[in-house]
C-alpha cells in the first residue's frame, strides 16, 4: 500500500496524483504503478491535447482527463490489472508471428455471446489469438448500419446477451489466449442516443455535442468539398431535423449523427466510455471511421491533423489507466494518408497500434484481376516505413465493400489511368469483363463521379462460385489456388492477419439478405453470412471444397506461427521481379531472411532467380510447401497461383 502523496515532475502526473488524492481516502494499492505510467505517458497526453485545444481549454481538459483516467483505473478489476502487467512485459503481442485475427458477427457466428464461448475450440483450432466481434453494443431500433448506429455504449444488444455476458466471454477468451476486439464508433451516435435526444429536446449542452446549423449556409459551404459515403441510399452529408428545425451533420446515414470532437465534453465522454469497455475485458478498440472525426471547411473533412492529436490523447489515457488496451484504426483512406494512423513525424508510434492495410487489400484484388503486380509494388513503395512498435492489420475481405483506393499517380506509373483502372476493377469483379472469374455486385454507384465499390464474399470474388456453377473441376482448382495465394499474401505480410468469418470454408455470396427488410437495400449483407456449422463440420474432409479451403488456410496460420522472421517490427518489402505476374515480398530479419514469391496468374510463370538475393544458389526450403516450384537456368518456375515462403534450408 502506498500513501498517495507523490508529486512528480510532469504536469499530467501531478494532475493524476491530485485526482487520486481527491478520489481516494488514503492509501491505494497499485498507486505507484499508476503514477509511473502517468509519468511515462503524461507527456503524450499533453502533446495530444495541446495539438487540438488552446491554452486554458487544454489545461481544463487535461485536468478532466486525468480525473477520468484515475476513476477508470480505480474500478479496474484485479485480473485485468494483472493482464496490464503481462501486456506491458510483452507489448509486442499483436506483432508476434503467432498473432492471428478472426472477425465475426456474434449472432451470425454463434447466436449469442455465450454461443461464441461455446465455439472457442473452433477459434483455437484456427490459431486465433484475437477475435473481433462486430458491433455488439445496443444499436437504435430498425435500420442501424450493421450496428454502427449505437444508442447505448454501456449496454450489449439484447438478443446477444448482457454486459455481464460480455465480461464472461472476455474471461473465457483470455483463458484461451484470445484477445477481444470490439468497435468503438466514435464519429457518430444513433439519433436515438440520449445525447441526440437531449439535443432535440433543446438542451444546449448536448446540442453542442453535434454539428447543428440553423440554415443551409454552412452545410452548403461544406458540401462544396465533401465527398459522399453512401451516395446511393444516404445522399448528402446533412439531414434536416424537424424537431430542432435545423440541419445536423450526418456523414453516413441520416440516423447517424456526427459528433463534434472540437467540444471537450465529447472527448471526455469517449475517454470514459473507452475505459468502461476496457474494464469489461476488451483488449482492442476498433476506432470506427476515425478519419472523419475532425471537420474543416474547404477540405474533404477526413484525415485532418487533429484526428491524430485526439487519438494520441485517448491512447495516453488508456495507457495510464488500462495499459493493455490497444487501438486499431479503421481509416479506409488513400495510401498517402493511411500510414499517419500508425504515426508519422511527431506522432510516430503515439497513435493507433494497429491499422487496417486497406491499400494492400485493394492491391491484391487489383493484381488478381490484371495478373500484374507492378501497381501493387509501386503503390506500397510509396508508404513510409511504419513505426516499429505498430502493426498493420492485413486482410482480404471484411464486412464492408471494397472501394478502389488507388492513387492516380500510382496507376499512371504503370501506364494506366486512375479512373479507368478503378472502373475496370468494378466491371471485373461483377463479372463484366472478358475472362473475369468474379461474382460480386456493385455497391454505391456514384452517378456524379462514376465511382463504384464492390460487395461479395472472398470465395465468390476469386471464382469459386463461377466454377461451381460451371461444374468445372479445373476452374474450381484454380479458384481455390487463387484464394490461397491471396490469403498467403495476407498471412505473410507481417502484422496481424484478419480472417473474415466464412473465408476459411470458402463461403459464397449469400442472397438471403434480400428477404430481410432491414438489409435488403444494402448488398454488403451478401458477404455477411450466417455460419453454416454443418458445412464447418466437414472441414476435416479433404474431398470437400470446405475441407480443402480450410486445410490451406489453417496451414498458413500454422506455418506463420513458426516463423520468427514474420514479426511485425520488421517491414515487408514488396518487390517487382522480372515477370509482372510474379510478386516478391522480401523480409530481412535478424532471425533470418524470408523471400515470398506469388504467381498471381492462372499460368505457369518464371522469373529471374536474382530476386532470391542472398538465398540464390543455396539450398532452399519453402515453408508453405503448397506449390511445386523449381529453379532452372537461373529462373524460378512457378505453377499457377503459387505461393512460396522461401528461406535457407
Nearer to ligand GLC, 330 or 465 (CB): 330
Return the residues of window 528-587 that contact ligand GLC according to CB under 6 A. Answer: none
Return the residues of window 283-312 that contact ligand GLC according to CB under 6 A. Answer: 288-289
In angstroms, give the least distance from the CB of 305 to ligand GLC: 21
Q: Could you tell me how many residues of this chain bind ligand GLC (CB under 6 A)?
A: 10
Nearer to ligand GLC, 252 or 428 (CB): 252
Specify whether 571 is catalytic. Answer: no
> Of 92, 112, 124, nearest to 159 (Cα)?
112
Measured between alpha carbons, how far is 360 from 526 in angstroms, rounded to an integer?
A: 23
Nearer to ligand GLC, 287 or 642 (CB): 287
Nearer to ligand GLC, 39 or 328 (CB): 328
Element (H, E) at 622: strand 620-622
Measured between alpha carbons, how far is 45 from 311 in angstroms, rounded to an integer?
A: 10
Return the residues of window 237-256 that contact ligand GLC according to CB under 6 A. Answer: 252
Q: Which residue is nearest to ligand GLC (CB)?
A: 148
Interface with ligand GLC, residue 620, by CB under 6 A: no
Among 102, 148, 210, 525, binds ligand GLC (CB under 6 A): 148
Q: Kindly name the residue from 46, 330, 451, 571 that is annotated as catalytic.
A: 330
Interface with ligand GLC, residue 185, by CB under 6 A: yes
Nearer to ligand GLC, 41 or 443 (CB): 443
Interface with ligand GLC, residue 400, by CB under 6 A: yes
Nearer to ligand GLC, 330 or 622 (CB): 330
Q: Which three cell numbers stand for residue 55?
A: 491554452
Of 144-152, 419-427, 560-568, 626-634, the window that binds ligand GLC (rule: CB under 6 A) is: 144-152
Of 14-22, 124-132, 140-148, 293-301, the window that binds ligand GLC (rule: CB under 6 A) is: 140-148
Residues across the chain: 649
In angstroms, give the least distance from the CB of 134 to ligand GLC: 9
Nearer to ligand GLC, 103 or 556 (CB): 103
Give the per-residue contact string, 307-346, with ligand GLC (x = CB under 6 A; - = no): -----------------------x----------------
Give the per-residue contact string, 413-442, with ligand GLC (x = CB under 6 A; - = no): ------------------------------
Cα distances (Å, whole numbers) of residue 5 to 32, 33, 36, 220 = 10, 14, 13, 55
Q: Which of 210-242 are b and which e, b meaning 16 or more Cβ less than 10 Å from the residue's Cβ?
A: bbbbeeeebbeebeeebebbbbbebebbbbebe
Specify whether 477 is catalytic. Answer: no
Return the residues of window 251-280 that contact ligand GLC according to CB under 6 A. Answer: 252
Measured between alpha carbons, how far is 471 from 194 in angstroms, rounded to an integer?
A: 54
Interface with ligand GLC, residue 395, by CB under 6 A: no
Interface with ligand GLC, residue 598, by CB under 6 A: no
Q: What is the CB neighbour count within 10 angstroms for residue 557? A: 22
Measured between alpha carbons, how far is 143 from 515 in angstroms, rounded to an integer?
A: 14
Q: What is the CB neighbour count within 10 angstroms for residue 534? A: 7
**Residue 2 pairs with which residues in a beta bridge?**
28
Of 143-151, 338-346, 538-546, 597-605, the window that binds ligand GLC (rule: CB under 6 A) is: 143-151
Measured between alpha carbons, how far is 209 from 5 in angstroms, rounded to an integer?
A: 37
Pairing of strands 101-104, 496-500: parallel
Q: Which of 347-371 are b and which e, b meaning 16 or more Cβ less than 10 Å from the residue's Cβ?
A: bbebbbbbbbbbbbbbbbbbbbbbe
Interface with ligand GLC, residue 125, by CB under 6 A: no
> Of 79, 70, 40, nearest to 271 (Cα)?
70
Q: Are 127 and 561 in contact (CB under 8 A)?
A: yes
Of 37-45, 141-149, 196-204, 457-465, the window that binds ligand GLC (rule: CB under 6 A) is: 141-149
CA-CA-CA-CA torsion for 128, 134, 136, 138, nearest 10 degrees?
Answer: 170
SS3 state at 288 = strand
In angstroms, give the least distance from the CB of 78 to ligand GLC: 34
Measured between alpha carbons, how far is 433 from 427 in angstroms, rounded to an integer?
A: 6
Nearer to ligand GLC, 53 or 252 (CB): 252
Return the residues of window 3-32 that contact ligand GLC according to CB under 6 A. Answer: none
Q: Kindly name the residue from 84, 288, 451, 571 that is annotated as catalytic.
A: 288
Q: Read out DSSP for 521-569?
A: T-GGGGG-PPP-HHHHTTTT-TTSHHHHHHHHHHHHHHHHHT-GGG-TT
> Of 358, 608, 368, nearest to 484 (Cα)?
368
Nearer to ligand GLC, 311 or 581 (CB): 311
Pairing of strands 326-329, 284-288: parallel
In angstroms, give the least distance from the CB of 333 to ligand GLC: 11
Interface with ligand GLC, residue 145, by CB under 6 A: yes
Measured between alpha carbons, how far is 461 from 450 in angstroms, rounded to an integer?
A: 21
Nearer to ligand GLC, 134 or 375 (CB): 134
Task: Tell me the catalytic residues.
Answer: 288, 330
Binding interface with ligand GLC (CB under 6 A): 145-146, 148, 185, 252, 288-289, 330, 399-400
Amino acid at each position: 500500500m502506498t500513501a498517495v502523496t507523490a508529486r512528480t515532475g510532469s504536469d499530467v502526473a501531478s494532475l493524476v496524483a491530485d485526482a487520486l488524492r481527491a478520489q481516494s481516502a488514503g492509501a491505494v494499492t497499485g498507486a505507484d504503478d499508476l503514477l509511473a505510467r502517468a509519468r511515462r505517458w503524461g507527456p503524450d497526453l499533453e502533446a495530444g491535447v495541446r495539438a487540438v485545444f488552446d491554452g486554458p481549454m487544454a489545461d481544463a481538459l487535461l485536468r478532466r482527463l486525468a480525473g477520468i483516467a484515475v476513476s477508470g483505473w480505480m474500478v479496474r478489476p484485479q485480473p485485468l490489472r494483472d493482464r496490464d502487467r503481462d501486456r506491458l512485459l510483452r507489448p509486442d503481442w499483436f506483432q508476434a508471428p503467432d498473432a492471428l485475427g478472426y472477425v465475426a458477427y456474434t449472432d451470425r457466428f454463434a447466436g449469442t455471446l455465450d454461443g461464441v464461448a461455446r465455439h472457442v475450440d473452433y477459434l483455437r483450432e484456427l490459431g486465433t489469438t484475437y477475435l473481433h466481434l462486430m458491433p455488439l453494443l445496443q444499436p437504435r431500433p430498425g435500420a442501424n448500419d450493421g450496428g454502427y448506429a449505437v444508442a447505448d455504449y454501456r449496454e450489449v444488444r439484447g438478443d446477444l446477451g448482457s454486459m455481464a455476458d460480455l465480461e464472461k466471454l472476455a474471461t473465457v477468451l483470455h483463458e484461451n489466449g484470445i484477445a477481444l476486439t470490439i468497435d468503438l464508433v466514435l464519429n457518430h451516435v444513433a439519433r436515438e442516443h440520449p445525447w441526440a435526444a437531449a439535443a432535440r429536446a433543446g438542451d444546449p449542452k448536448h446540442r453542442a455535442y453535434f454539428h447543428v446549423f440553423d440554415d443551409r449556409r454552412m452545410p452548403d459551404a461544406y458540401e462544396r468539398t465533401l465527398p459522399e459515403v453512401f451516395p446511393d441510399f444516404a445522399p448528402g452529408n446533412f439531414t434536416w431535423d424537424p424537431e430542432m428545425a435545423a440541419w445536423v451533420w450526418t456523414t453516413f446515414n441520416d440516423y447517424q449523427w456526427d459528433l463534434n470532437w472540437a467540444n471537450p465534453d465529447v472527448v471526455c465522454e469517449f475517454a470514459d466510455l473507452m475505459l468502461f469497455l476496457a474494464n469489461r475485458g476488451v483488449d482492442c478498440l476498433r476506432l470506427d471511421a476515425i478519419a472523419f472525426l475532425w471537420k474543416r471547411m474547404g477540405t474533404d473533412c477526413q484525415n485532418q491533423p487533429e484526428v491524430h492529436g485526439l487519438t494520441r490523447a485517448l491512447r495516453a489515457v488508456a495507457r495510464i489507466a488500462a495499459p493493455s488496451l490497444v487501438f486499431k484504426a479503421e481509416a479506409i483512406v488513400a495510401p498517402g494518408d493511411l500510414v499517419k494512423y500508425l504515426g508519422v513525424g511527431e506522432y510516430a508510434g503515439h497513435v493507433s497500434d494497429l491499422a487496417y492495410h486497406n491499400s494492400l487489400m485493394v492491391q491484391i484484388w487489383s493484381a488478381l484481376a490484371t495478373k500484374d503486380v507492378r501497381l501493387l509494388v509501386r503503390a506500397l513503395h510509396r508508404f513510409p516505413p511504419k513505426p516499429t512498435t505498430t502493426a498493420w492489420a492485413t486482410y482480404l475481405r471484411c464486412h464492408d465493400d471494397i472501394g478502389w483506393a488507388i492513387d492516380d499517380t500510382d496507376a499512371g506509373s504503370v501506364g494506366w489511368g486512375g479512373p479507368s483502372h478503378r472502373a475496370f476493377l468494378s466491371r471485373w469483379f461483377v463479372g463484366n469483363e472478358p475472362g473475369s472469374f468474379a461474382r460480386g455486385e456493385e455497391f454505391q454507384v456514384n452517378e456524379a463521379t462514376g465511382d463504384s465499390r464492390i460487395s461479395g464474399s472472398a470465395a465468390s470474388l476469386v471464382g469459386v462460385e463461377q466454377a461451381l456453377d460451371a461444374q468445372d473441376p479445373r476452374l474450381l482448382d484454380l479458384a481455390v489456388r487463387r484464394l490461397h495465394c491471396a490469403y498467403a499474401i495476407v498471412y505473410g505480410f507481417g502484422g496481424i492477419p484478419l480472417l473474415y468469418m466464412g473465408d476459411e470454408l470458402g463461403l459464397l455470396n449469400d442472397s438471403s439478405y434480400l428477404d430481410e427488410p432491414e438489409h435488403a437495400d444494402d448488398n454488403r449483407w451478401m458477404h455477411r453470412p450466417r455460419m453454416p456449422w454443418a458445412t464447418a463440420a466437414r472441414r476435416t474432409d479433404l474431398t470437400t471444397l470446405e475441407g480443402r479451403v480450410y486445410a490451406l488456410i489453417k496451414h498458413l496460420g500454422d506455418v506463420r506461427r513458426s516463423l520468427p522472421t514474420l514479426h511485425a517490427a520488421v517491414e515487408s518489402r514488396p518487390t517487382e521481379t522480372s515477370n509482372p505476374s510474379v510478386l516478391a515480398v522480401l523480409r530481412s530479419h535478424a532471425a533470418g531472411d524470408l523471400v515470398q514469391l506469388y504467381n498471381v496468374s492462372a499460368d505457369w510463370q518464371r522469373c529471374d532467380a536474382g530476386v532470391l538475393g542472398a538465398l540464390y544458389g543455396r539450398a532452399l526450403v519453402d515453408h508453405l510447401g503448397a506449390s511445386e516450384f523449381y529453379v532452372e537456368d537461373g529462373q524460378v518456375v512457378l505453377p499457377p497461383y503459387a505461393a512460396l515462403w522461401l528461406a535457407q534450408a
